[in-house]
Structure 1
Amino acid sequence: MTILLTTLNARYAHASLGLRCLYANMAELQEQTRIVEFVIGARAADLVERLLAHAPAIIGFGVYIWNVEEITHVVALLKRIAPHIKIVLGGPEVSHETQEQEITRLADYVITGWGDTGFVALCRQILHGPQPLMKVHAGPQPPLAELALPYAYYDERDIRERTLYVEASRGCPFKCEFCLSALDKTAWPFETARFLAALEDLYQRGARQFKFVDRTFNLNIKTSLAILQFFLDKIEAHPEDPLYAHFELVPDHLPDALKTAILRFPPGALQFEIGIQTFNPQVQARISRKQDNDKACANLAWLAAHSQAHLHVDLIAGLPGEDVASFAAGFDRLWSLGVDEIQFGILKRLRGTPIIRHTDEFGLVFDPLPPYAIQATGSISFLEMQELVRFARYWDLVANSGRFANSLRILLGESPFANFMRFSRWLFANTDATHRIALERLAGLVLRYLEQELGMPQNEAALLLGRDHARRQAPEGNSGQVRQARHLAA
């Protein structure tokens, strides 16, 4: 009577934290439960074959925005080939607007919200009765102290080959309407000593890459400092043994005690993901986002100037009422602060998020298929949005990759958004592609643009690209590459 826990991860390097949280709390059913992970892009028939090899009685699928279409195909095949297997769905994609989805029509049961204890309870009913009467079950939210932690169930291959996802807390107190965390009442912390003991066990087993999924890592500074001290102790005891930790920070909350701890980390040890999303105060108020822009900018500038952390900062295009000019001004402001990466995101309509309340007033038009990206708004036309999508892709290839740090300062000049948009339009006109552009070809295109469009002498352009190539061969990371380019630009 095997129970399978499965999902399709976006990449092999992503080990599913959600499946391991379920497995950790399977109680007496854990012995007959197996975790089977896949990666998106595989043939549905191949996945079904591998699932059926376990002769399961129940299969639980973790459903997310990036895998819902492929899992729908897998579930459809399973219900035709092996209709006796009970299919249980969970995850954010099926926790909202549940009745409207084809995948939930195909499945036997759906658990909305938290599944840690709800899944095992449903499995008990399926296996031992009485049989569940309802298809959709609201997952209970127990106190975190009652949940078994999942970290023992990262195996040796996970530790050796993959980034490990961990969480010191769940939930978020903020109400940004584009995010599912807007539905949370608050943030709930795991007990710090218990969590750090689990991290210690992972470290002793060889784990060196930790990605925190907490929405607000620096909300409780006492806890943040304790976790940072855990990593500092390891780094200072074994400076020859690289360690990497990724955190998501609230941009306008960086007290001196946290700055002092951050300053102690060496290059390559810290990455901060920081959501700015928009600098437009009217748009911020419209989407219920509270943010002190001046404090946020001061903190980002301080981190860029004084810390060794890699700074990955998010902006979102397509928010209700924000036009291209406003987004461009925010982009230029963010670039001037010296951050390492600007993650240029396009607004997506995640199921259940309050952003849809602005649909009519601000003319929001979303793609009906995952990932539900915005296609046009009352302030940004469809054609303009297409240009922004291409800009975002080329920005990743040229700027965020760190491969063209010297050339980038020439491409951007004094008007980064406008100048890179010009370059983006030229790239698309000369390639008709945004994907599968080989690095060698991309370098040749940058060289042509510098010479033909910006009028740079051939020998100077070639020298600039040569310096980019030499920097790519150096052991220094992207943070150093981009920051050195900024210093040159200054």
Structure 2
Amino acid sequence: MTDIVLATLNAKYQHASLGLRYLLANMGELRPQTRLMEFVWDQRSTEIAERLLTERPRIIGLGVYIWNARETLQLVQVLKAVAPEVIIVLGGPEVSYEQEEQAVVTAADYVIAGQGDLAFAALCQQLLHGERPAQKIIHVTPPPLEQINLPYDEYTDTDIAQRLVYVEASRGCPFKCEFCLSALDKTAWPFELERFLAALARLHARGVRHFKFVDRTFNLNVKASRRILQFFLDRLSDDLFLHFEVIPDHLPEGLKELLVRFPPGTLQLEVGVQSFNPAVQQRISRKQDNAATEANLRWLRAHSHAHLHADLIIGLPGEDLASFATGFNRLWALRPHEIQVGTLKRLRGAPIARHTDEFAMRYDPQPPYTLLANRDLDFSTMQSLTRFARYWDLVANSGRFGHALPLLLGDDAFGRFLQFADWLYAATGQTHKIALPRLFQLLHQALVEVFAVPEQDSLTALARDCAAFGAKGCPEFLHGHLQQVQQAARRNAPVRQARHLQN
């Protein structure tokens, strides 16, 4: 019998909810009566409700996040319309703050505000015994980590075969960057390392080779980071892949000596730069040594095989267009493999809200609460920068245009790509669903007509980009140049490699 269903709406099927698995692992004697069900946010709310109610649960717990808040509201409204007797309990960061403003909170029965690893099971015990707490909002303090059962055995064989496996060696963050909910944490708390490594060993033995760490500050505790890196070095294989989020200005020699030992394709480091402007950093309580950040990124690019994914945020209070452009070009000069350009979002509860009036911060009232305009960036400029970010993903971060991109960016990466983005939107009216052959054609047109790149140089660069990924998706106008590039590659290749190219 399923008395309790734990559910959430993920952004993609491959995302497996770590939070729900923590709840499931800590249900205690209620574990046999509890089932975990996951959906994708774009499924119909009526279909999700039907599947949930097929279990005939008495309690449904829903994880609410910034990316699924609207869809979760629709689901709760459907559930309450057709099965009002089912008790709906909400949890997650989206409903842990500012509950009085949220329709989804009004529609539900209870909300657990904070880390509900143990609190959810305790609430279910009360409810199943007919005890209804008087308070709708149940505020909980973070439980001691040693009291929490780890969730990793709750990953099923199907999860391991088809989905991303998320893990965390610690919770919280000691830093106070105001755009992030972790600014509310007092510090970072590590899980007991031997217990965590034993759980990783079980996952590895079951076939997990892709580990995504969700720690905010993986390299904060160097001793623990070294133990974890050594754990994976002892288990290196061609299919191993690790993702860590790291502090950009903290890379001691003890970590460097291990990072250099990971082969290509094994390690991805997410480096949160966010802004290079010292005044902006101070304003949002972000402590960052910019010189050390640059030195560390240069070292990682030169001496490690790690794939570097660096983040910048558009719209931080006091960061005008010129400042952002300077920071972008400064980061581009360090050549991370990806620059993720994100627009500021006002997370519920995040301290960034204190700047709203002074800097005229105007956010979309609907999730994910993206900045629409502020004192220094008007709405039109923000729209242009949003398209910049989308097209940067499409062209630069895709890795498809390694030869054409230098021609496009020249010596002013931000200025020229913003010009390209404005031109591309004017030419297409689209930011999505641009087919690859058409993108090749548009990029060639922009290089020649907008940036005065010699046509032969553009054609050769784009043909080389086609050749790097195979002819599939290569537009017809490049076929002749592609053959020339491939012939030149055969002529210049060593004899053994030339035979390989012929096969």
- Whichever residue aligns with residue 357 of structure 1, its letter is R
Match of 1:464 in 2: 461
Matched ranges for 1:104-253 at <5 A: 104-235=105-236, 239=237, 241-253=238-250
Contact 1:118-1:140 within 8 A present in 2 as well: no
Structure 1 residue 356, shift from structure 2 partner:
0.8
Larger CA Rg, structure 1 vs 2? 2
Higher mean alpha-carbon deviation, 408-417 vs 433-442, is at 433-442
Q: Is the 8 A contact 1:117 1:139 kept in 2?
A: no
Note the alpha carbon deviations across 1:176-222, whole angstroms, 9 max, x for none: 00000000000000011100000000000000000000000000000
Q: Which amino acid aligns with 1:137?
A: I
Amino acid at match of 2:463: G
Deviation per CA, 1:87-134, whole angstroms, max 9, x where unpaired?
000000000001110000000000000000000000001101322111
In the TM superposition, what is the alpha-carbon distance from 1:278 to its structure 2 partner? 0.4
Equivalent in the alignment of 1:488: none
- Which residue of the partner structure matches residue 418 of structure 2? 421
Q: How does 1:63-462 map to 2 (within 5 A)?
A: 63-235=64-236, 239=237, 241-462=238-459
SS where residue 462 of structure 2 aligns? helix
Check conservation: 1:274, 1:311, Cα contact below 8 A: yes
Ranges in structure 1 where 5+ consecutive residues have no aligned partner: 475-490
Using the TM superposition, give the Cα deviation of residue 455 of structure 1 relative to its aligned residue in structure 2, in angstroms: 2.6
Matched residue SS, 1:234: coil
CA-CA distance at 1:21 after TM superposition: 0.3
Q: Residues of 1 paired with 2:53 and 2:7: CA distance?
A: 12
| Whole-Å separation in 2 of the counterparts to 1:457 and 1:184 | 55
Give 1:140 shift. Answer: 3.6
> What CA distance in whole angstroms lies between the structure 2 residues aligned with 1:70 and 1:255?
44
1:306-358 per-residue CA deviation (whole Å, 9 max, x = no partner) reads 11000000000100011000000000000001110000010000000010101
For 2:440 and 2:225, how far apart are their aligned partners in 1?
42
2:470 to 466, 470, 473: 473
Deviation at residue 461 of structure 1 after TM alignment: 1.8
Are residue 4 (structure 1) and residue 1 (structure 2) matched? Answer: no
Q: Is the 8 A contact 1:251 1:276 kept in 2?
A: yes
- 1:167 deviates by 0.3
Given that 2:343 and 2:370 are in contact with CA atoms closer than 8 Å, whether structure 1 keeps it comes out as yes
Query: Partners of 2:351 and 2:141 in 1: how far apart?
Result: 22
Asked whether the 8 Å contact 2:407–2:453 carries over to 1, the reply is no
* Structure 2 gaps, min length 5: 472-503
Distance 1:387 1:293 in 2: 27
Question: 2:314, 2:450 → 1: CA distance?
Answer: 27
**1:7-22 pair list within 5 angstroms:** 7-22=8-23
Q: Give CA-to-partner distance per residue, 1:152-197, whole Å, 9 cap, x none.
A: 0111111111110000000000000000000000000001110000
Q: CA contact under 8 A between 1:117 and 1:140: conserved in structure 2?
A: no
**Aligned-pair RMSD on alpha carbons?**
1.0
Q: Secondary structure at the match of 2:60?
A: strand
Partner SS, residue 112 of structure 2: strand
Partners of 2:196 and 2:437 lie apart in 1 by: 46
How many residues were matched structurally?
Answer: 470
**Displacement of 1:364 after TM fit?**
0.7
* Percent identical residues: 59
Q: Which amino acid in 1 is paired with 2:135?
A: M
TM-score, normalization by structure 1: 0.95
CA distance in 2, matches of 1:53, 1:297: 55
What residue is the counterpart of 2:479 in the other structure?
none
Letter paired with 2:310? V
Instruction: For 1:141 and 1:378, locate their aligned partners in 2 and report how far apart those are by CA, in whole Å.
Output: 37
Whole-Å Cα distance in 2 between the matches of residues 415 and 218 of structure 1? 33
C-alpha distance in 2, partners of 1:471/1:442?
A: 16
The answer to whether the 8 Å contact 1:387/1:425 transfers is yes
Structure-2-length-normalised TM-score: 0.92
Task: Tell me the residue number matched to 1:52.
Answer: 53
Whole-angstrom distance in 2 between the partners of 1:454 and 1:354: 43
Structure 2 residue 20 is the aligned partner of structure 1 residue 23:
no
User: What does the per-residue CA deviation read over 1:349-398, in whole Å, with 9 as the maximum and x for residues that have no partner?
Assistant: 00000101011111111111111011111111111111100000000000
Per mean C-alpha deviation after superposition, the further-off stretch among 318-327 and 453-462 is: 453-462
